[in-house]
Copies of this chain bind each other. A is one copy, B any other.
Amino acid sequence: MSDETAVLDTARRARVAATDLAVASRATKDAALHAMADALLAAAPQILEANAADCARAEAGGTPPAIIDRLRLDDGRIAGMAQGLRDVAGLPDPVGEVVRGSTLPNGLELRQVRVPFGVVGIIYEARPNVTADGAGLALKSGNAVLLRGSSSAKASNTAIVAALRDGIVSAALPADAVQLVPGDTHDAVKHLMRARGLVDVLIPRGGASLIKSVVEESTVPVIETGVGNCHVYVDADADLDVAERILVNAKAQRPSVCNAAETVLVHADVAEAFVPRAVAALGQVGVTVHGDAEFARLAGAEVVPATAEDWDTEYLSLDIAAAVVPSLEDAITHIREHGSGHTEAIVTRSQGAARRFVAAVDAAAVVVNASTRFTDGGEFGFGAEIGISTQKLHARGPMGLPELTSTKYVVTGDGHIRG
């Protein structure tokens, strides 16, 4: 069987499963989620064996230790995946929610109701826990899911999916609710991306190049996620103690994630007071500052001269670009030119500056006097997160269960015709 046939067959089986999932009750879906958790724990030995093989292959291939750490599973991580599924069971079911409703002047009843997408594809890198998380969120929202992890995690993902399918079947839902995309080549992913009509939405989760290739090649609608070139702007009216605390937290609390800050912009009026202490505070937690000329002049310590590239770089490391800006408007312009539309923060005591920044900055999240690190489904109280959308269509910002649904209009009359 060719890759194309295999991928399309898988997608067709997902569509069939999706018709059952769409009408499954919350009770059935929650029972399946608990059964999936139980099955994961029961299959832990097989999953760990498969994972050990993946890790050994990666080590032999010279994969860096940081990547292997993300790949490696242990009993704790499997227990975490299982608990994640149980947590999703505890969340409200988005399907069936009436988003709006009215009775029209002619007596027709109109309701807009949440329904599953149908078939969701998730293309992701390294971490095998996404396999269980993605399956759980898709199933709870009534969607069948096609999972395409990285080839380095293939054995682990295969073992995890086998366990999840056992759980699903034991709850009398179709096993094909959760499937891995077959095929070893990049062609398999291409066929997935061209399966418009069979697959309703693709969610790529991973680095910028993965997301870019999916966005460019897919005819299936894509929700773009995750790339974050986030700014902290320290306004002329900032409380500098607050600014320092937020800057250090936004940059250094977990530098490898998309909501970490990558650039700090300092208003010229407070630059003399703020820049030296910012450089010192960042230096203390190991951050390298890439400053523009004015920032470097005020730093009172060595900073790396910033190049044009720095303003557009998502470091995901203990590095930060830094510039002095003459005004709030210049900060807004800088963010408009270089931001990735993820999270942008202002530190200010001025109500006017905060209002202007919030209105003029176009991003999934605009933050006033808090760390960029709060842009997260868990922090926002959504209970779960499938990713953080940086596009404007359908979902923007952290995506929880409702973002994995569409809607349908239900129109009820008693013989109404249009005049």
A interface residues, Cβ below 8 angstroms from B: 19, 22-23, 102, 104-105, 108, 110, 112, 115, 117-118, 196, 200-201, 215-216, 219, 221-223, 239, 241-242, 245-246, 248-250, 253, 336, 354, 358-360, 362-371, 373-375, 379-381, 391-394, 396-398, 406-418
Contact = CB atoms under 8 A, between A and B. Distances in A.
Contacts of A380: 104, 110, 409
A408 B104 contact: no
A108 B51 CA distance: 40
B418 A379 contact: yes
Nearest to A196: B215
A362 B22 contact: yes
- The 10 A-B residue pairs whose C-beta atoms are closest, nearest first, are A370-B413, A249-B417, A392-B406, A370-B416, A394-B394, A242-B415, A373-B418, A365-B409, A221-B393, A367-B411
Q: Which of A250, A398, A409 has the most CB of B within 10 A?
A: A409
Copies of the chain in the assembly: 2
7 contacts: A105-B381, A118-B362, A242-B414, A245-B417, A365-B408, A366-B409, A392-B406
B406 A370 contact: no
Given A215-B219, A253-B417, 4 more contacts: A22-B362, A108-B370, A246-B416, A366-B408
A252 B413 CA distance: 19
Contacts of A253: 417-418
B408 A364 contact: yes
Contacts of A215: 196, 219
B365 A416 contact: no
Contact of A370 (B369, B371, B411): B411
A381 B102 contact: yes
Contact of A366 (B19, B410, B414): B410
A23 B221 CA distance: 29
A379 B370 CA distance: 45
Contacts of A241: 415
Contacts of A370: 108, 411-417
A198 B301 CA distance: 39
Q: Which of A248, A359, A363, A411 has the most CB of B within 10 A?
A: A411
Given A371-B417, A381-B102, A22 B359 contact: yes
A210 to B, nearest CB: 16
A369 B410 CA distance: 11
B369 A412 contact: yes
B246 A371 contact: no
B411 A374 contact: yes
Contact of A406 (B19, B102, B393, B415): B393
Given A362-B115, A418-B253, A411 B368 contact: yes
A200 to B, nearest CB: 5
Contacts of A336: 19
